[in-house]
Amino acid sequence: MTDNILHELSATDDLAEKAAIVAESVFNSLPEEMALVARQCVIFHWFDQTLVEALLREHALVESESKNFYEHILSLPFVESLAWGATFQDLTREGLLKQYALSHPELLIQAAKTAAPIYKTREEYGTIAAEAFYCYAVAGNLESVRGLFNSLLEEAIFREDWHYIDALLQFRDEAEQLLFGSSIPLTDQQWVLIGIAHRAQGELEAAIADYGKALAINPNNALAHLMRGTSYAEQHRDSDALLEYDRTFQIDPTLVQAYTNRGIIHLKQGRYKEALQDIDQALELEPTNAEAYTQYIQLLEVALSTVTEMDQAKKSHLQRSQPSEIEALLQQALAINQRRPSLEDLDVADTFSKLADVYTSQGMYRQAEPLRDRALAIYKFKMGTLGDEVIAQQGSKKSGWLSSLKSPPARIVSIDEDALEMLKKTSRTFFIPISRLPAGLQDAVMSGYLCLRAIDEVEDHPKLDNRTKAMLLRSISHTLQTTFAAGDFTTALGGYQQELPEVTLRVGDWALLAPPSVAPRVWEATATMADRMAQWADNAWMIRTEADLDRYTFGVAGSVGLLLSDLWAWYNGTQSNRIHAVGFGRGLQAVNILRNHAEDVVRGVEFFPHGWRAEDMHAYARRNLALADAYTSALPPGPVLDFCSLPLALAYATLESLARGDSKLSRSEVLQIVDQHTSGRL
């Protein structure tokens, strides 16, 4: 080592600068062409022989020497071997980059321009694709940077690959920090996606900052306001969250999630009137919104608890204003219930009936009467002719039925009562047609639906990671393939009882609900679908092509059509076209994918194949719904045709609504379709 080098080393305390001095002295000892290529490789986080060959071609050097060049560079003391290539040691690279950015920026830029398309052609997603993004950024090719960054970001969110997003942002920062690097502006939508990634990792402050950057670019980004409000709410900054939701409505009053999120805060604050207004608006936009329904039930439970306390304490410890406040709340709740079909629910009816009981016990008949009337109307609507029996039990005089119903009326049903209760909680589309099936067939279809819903809840669980989902799904599948008892699924579901919903925890009950002569077919369908879902979880639901989409929709919906065909044949010998049965399931699933696309993207899931737009998925849905039409048109009149007609009609109407640019079916449209397909069948 020369005196000059020793002097340079003693003149600095910066370890990266020291490493660069040593490396540069080694480069100076190499042949000129080799030193030139070695210096260019410093810009890369990693490189291989193919990159060295490309750099040699750029300099019109002898390509046949590329292997020798690469092996010589690999032998340098500050170059490390990787399984897929080579890389400079971190300190050496840091020091050389800082030096070359000042002295040889053109060498680094040219190397990046040469390497970027080579990296890009090797991989669509992963380490190599990230290096392509970095090289395009160093080279100043902003058009390619924007397109590649957006596709990698969306794919990473789809895979829930949060560390990959962090790496992309680090590469972006590194490229910008080079003195010759260009600023790489991000769009407001990209900042929203980055915020979603940070929020998913629990980094709420970082997420809020990301949404702020999105709004600095586009103050009218409704999703950014919504997501910032959601992050504020998770920090218990309710006032800030409410302000963000209000801004969301000013920009886009059709975002259902904003209403349900604001409703949660209003419930927590005891602002029940405002919460009911949010529920009402959410159901106007999305008639079957599950979150709005849950909030409505919670409000009724609050009212029931308050009225019960009044009864037990004989009003002695309550303010005079409290009863009128609760009465106003219930009047508002009744009015909303009469407008929203999805609230015509047996749980709601039970709560109305309990409230009426408490008021009756206090002699408050004026308050009890509308609650009881509404409860009986719902029982009749949901239970058909059985509802008439309930009403008949009460007699024709008000005093008779007001005093006789001290608890919700017993429901004489032809299927397991718990299963019926669970069905109405989990499905608005299928509750009506299943509840109208004849005994026997009703049990079989109910069993199949609830078993499949049980595993669907695992697949869609918002908090379980993909590995856990795959494990739970396979455990359910394996248990169904044994001689099982209902309790065996407690073991199969491991320590996740707190995280999983009741419909999943009771999958054993639903499996044993099926008639013995057809139960094994239901078990086989559920076990097979659970295995397929586990495979999709393992692969992070990677849907790149239409063939992938076909496999997914067959696994979770087309196979359900085959199960239904088998149940029709088992019940009364009804035969159906099995190819059309697959189309029936696929068509309904494709409509669901379209309807929920925006929400899926928000939670980081993308079911559209790469390059597909909404019109492509519309065409896919219509192709399969045409098969569904053929399927139903060949069915004989009766319960099987009745079962299939309603969900198919709702699917077509939803598709038309989306094509018009509406986000959901309107309330009047849903009511009209339900009336058309249920009138005369009660």
Q: Give per-residue pLDDT as tens, 529-568.
A: 999 999 988 888 888 899 889 999 999 999 999 999 999 9
Please enumerate in sequence order all residues whose Cβ is within 8 A of that of 31, keeping only pairs 6 or more positions apart, or say none: none
Measured CA to CA, the distance from residue 101 to residue 324 in angstroms comes to: 75
Same domain, 229 and 371: yes
Say if 478 falls within a structural domain: yes
Burial class (CB within 10 angstroms; exposed 0-12, middle 13-18, buried 19+) of 529: buried
Q: Which residues in 354-485 belong to E strands, given as ranges?
A: none
Instruction: Specify whether 221 is located in the same domain as 288.
Output: yes
Residues 353-381 have a mean pLDDT of 78
Residue 530 lies in a domain: no
263 and 180 within one domain: no
pLDDT band at 430 (very low <50, low <70, confident <90, very high): confident
- The answer to the question of residue 347 being in a domain is yes
532 domain-assigned: no
**Whether 395 and 460 share a structural domain:** no
Q: Is residue 535 part of a domain?
A: no
pLDDT of 393 higher than 50: no
Query: b vs e for 285-315, b when ≥16 Cβ sit within 10 Å of the residue's Cβ?
Result: bbbbbebbbebbebbbebbbebbeebeeeee
134 shares its domain with 221: no
| CATH, residue 298 | 1.25.40.10
Whether pLDDT at 664 is above 80: no
pLDDT level of residue 416 (50, 70, 90 thresholds) = low
The answer on 158 and 87 residing in a single domain is: yes
The residue among 127, 159, 186 that closes a domain is: 186
Residue range 632-653: mean pLDDT, rounded:
89
Distance (Å, rounded) from C-alpha 23 to C-alpha 79?
Answer: 10
pLDDT tens across 9-21, in order?
788 888 999 899 9
Q: Which of 186, 218, 234 is the last residue of a domain?
A: 186
> What was the pLDDT predicted at 371?
83
0.75 cut: is pTM over it?
A: no
Q: Label residue 413 by pLDDT band (50, 70, 90).
A: very low
Residue range 641-649: average pLDDT?
89
Residue 252 banded pLDDT, cuts 50, 70, 90 = very high
Residue 121 maps to a domain: yes
Of 289, 222, 220, 294, the residue nearest 256 (C-alpha):
289
Task: Indicate whether 219 and 174 sit together in one domain.
Answer: no
What share of the chain has pLDDT > 70, as a percent?
87
Intra-chain end-to-end CA distance of the chain, in Å: 97
* Predicted pLDDT at 131: 93
∠ CA 457-459-464 to the nearest 5 degrees?
95
Average pLDDT in the chain:
83
In a domain, 136, yes or no: yes
Domain span holding position 389:
204-404
Name the residue among 321, 309, 286, 297 with its Cα closest to residue 663.
Answer: 286
My answer on whether 50 and 154 are in the same domain is: yes
Per-residue pLDDT at 657? 86
| Pairing, β 79-82 against β 85-88 | antiparallel
| pLDDT classification of 311: cutoffs 50, 70, 90 | low
pLDDT of residue 353: 81
Q: Is the pLDDT of residue 321 over 50?
A: no
Is 488:480 a contact under the CB 8 Å cutoff? no
265 and 378 co-located in one domain: yes
**pLDDT, position 405:** 34
State the pLDDT at residue 682: 36
Specify the range with the lowest mean pLDDT, choosing from 401-405, 488-492, 619-623, 629-633.
401-405
Counting the structural domains of the chain, the total is 4
* Of the residues 155, 186, 217, the one at which a domain ends: 186
User: For the purposes of burial, counting CB atoms within 10 Å of the CB of 471, is it exposed (0-12), middle (13-18) or buried (19 or more)?
Assistant: middle
Highest mean pLDDT among 15-24, 81-90, 152-161, 298-307: 15-24
On whether both 484 and 588 belong to a single domain, the answer is no
Residue 89's nearest CA partner among 26, 145, 163 is: 26
Does 143 lie in the same domain as 46? yes
Q: Is the separation of the CB atoms in 507 and 476 below 8 Å? A: yes
The residues with which 47 forms a beta bridge, in sequence order, are 86
Same domain, 70 and 99: yes
**CATH label of the domain that carries residue 640:** 1.10.600.10
Give the tens place of pLDDT for each residue, 79-115. Answer: 998 877 899 999 999 999 998 988 889 999 999 999 9
- The pLDDT of residue 335: 85
- Assigned domain for 414 exists: no
Find which of 318-332, 426-440, 538-552 is predicted with most confidence, using mean pLDDT: 538-552
The pLDDT value recorded for residue 161 is 82
Please give the angle made by the CA atoms of 269, 270 and 273, to the nearest 5 degrees: 120
